[in-house]
Structure 1
Amino acid sequence: MMDWTDRHCRFFHRQLSRHTLLYTEMVTAPAILHGPRARLLDFDPAEHPVALQLGGADPAELAEAVRIAADWGYDEINLNCGCPSDRVQSGCFGAVLMERPALVADCVAAMIAAAPVEVTVKCRIGVDDQIPEEVLPRFLETVSAAGVRRFTIHARKAWLQGLNPHQNRTIPPLDYPLVIAMKRAFPQLDLSINGGVGSLAEAEALLAEGPNGGLDGVMIGRAAYHEPFAILAEADSRIFGTGAPADPYAVLDAMRPYIDRHLAAGGKLHQITRHMLGLFHGRPGARGWRRVLSERVSTPGAGLEVLDAALEPLRTAA
């Protein structure tokens, strides 16, 4: 979700669900050590609970990045061992780390020693010609021995040779049964599943006890981004058992002060509204909402009046 789940996206998603754990886009440890830390790590307090997702393969660098990030007050630090992009491979981190579980163990041990909060891992079931049934349990055993108790497993292989990142999200077949089998094999671990989940009903089935479920959590990425209301609006009531479903118009009203502050600080409207295109997905007038936002947000001086104009197609279709 690099370049997608920035702080504006997360603030918007938090208006839809108060309890869902939100993750940052992946930030590399060297970037935190040598780059613009405030721009990389700042977030609104309303985003809690929120996890910082780190990329890296050097234990000392990762530990120092964790020490720096501690001042920002994240609720979790996650090491990404699942991203298949070329630039991640070239840095020897992301999914390629599935080939080096001992190094991952060293990394997380260093991170845990430096972290004031829980350190978790996101991984794949394997890469390239690895046999997932052999690789995944060995990976979980090795990394958990270093102190990690919570893993999110993307239930697809990553083909580092021959597939681009988009293809790696769709072409390798999903293997939910393997991830569920890992929960049976490692009952002491907190295991969440990722990959291909497109609805709350699917998430509920994977969380429910039974032959096709019993997992501890479900991570939903692109479906939650493109159809945020459909995925997140009822998450609190259906998954966490608290609160009423969110209302899209109330969510929009909650975003107005945030947008106003961003504009007053010199920000651009599209930096926030690009994440809100799917708010009314599936409702009459939703296409008009998206069209107006897409066409008018970049005009000089664009402000909250663009939101009002984008609502007109929805009101007309109601």
Structure 2
Amino acid sequence: MDNCEIWKNVHITMRKNYSCALLFSIPAYTPNLQKLSILGPNFLIANLFDAPLTHLTHLRIDSPTIYSRPRTNFVLENLRSLYLRGAKHPEVVDCLSRSPRVEGATLTFKFTAEEAHQIPDRVCFKLEYLRRLELNVDFHSWNHGQSGPLNHIDLPALETLLLVVINCKIPNEADTLWDLSINTVSRYEATLKNLEMTVRCCGQPQSDFIGRIHGLKHLGVNLNTLSDDFIRALVSHLPSPKQQPCEVHSYLESLRILDIFEYQNGAAVSVIIDLAENEKSYDAPHPVTMILPSHFLMASASDSLVKIMAEDDWVKQRPDLYRPDLYRPMGEDW
């Protein structure tokens, strides 16, 4: 490949039989690479660590990967943004362990008990700069007592967690996966400000974990998790003039209702609004913003304690949550 030593931004979207030469050049012949995106061809992540990529800041791999342990100890010392979809669980952990300054990560992978056992028990590390994590885990097998997918990683600065847990292959494990999901969230309760969690399985979560996240400002929950207990817990964390000044209490500034399967059941939403309105007075704190999917046709009164916003408008307003600069798609700023 001509001039590959001066390449800075590389995007590979072609099929494997056409991309082999490009992939072969990385990293040995691309020392100045800053942004790398691979979409489509099977890729061996271990190859990234065959030579130093000291200038790499953005890495996006959206393709099936072939697992192999790296042959060197090189790290991606300046990587700030990591996006992995299709990688094996051990590869995800290994790549994170070699990205000490990563600030934002989007990780989508399948969890199996067999692959989890490939991660040595001694693997334990800290990512002290990671502030935003989008974690999508598809559980195919699970052993009771097993650690969570990232339990061995300390994230002391995590502020935003978008968590999706899918249970397609494990019957009768709904409560266990809910407990696992809440335990994952609770690990970061001291620093979390923004949390969205969707657990696609049957069962209902215990709601008391919300009160333990003292700095929580934004919460997104799936519509089918809104049991009576959960609704009461949510309302207790909405701004209320009845709250005493001496009480230590976190107030939600925004509440997003997620409705992936479009149940279109507005009863739970109406209950939240009605209960919140019972707390209203003229000296109430700021209103809470409730974000609803587009198929919900609801509006709030001008003096309501709950301000309703359409989901599309909210996503545009909060690029820091859903589309931060670290994750702009190919062709925008790359």
Q: TM-score range by the shorter chain?
A: 0.3 to 0.5
The structure in which a higher percent of residues are strand is 2
TM-score (norm: length of structure 2)? 0.32
TM-score (norm: length of structure 1)? 0.33
Pair member with larger Rg: 2
Q: With CA pairs under 8 Å and 6+ residues apart, which has the higher RCO, 1 or 2?
A: 1
The structure in which a higher percent of residues are helix is 1
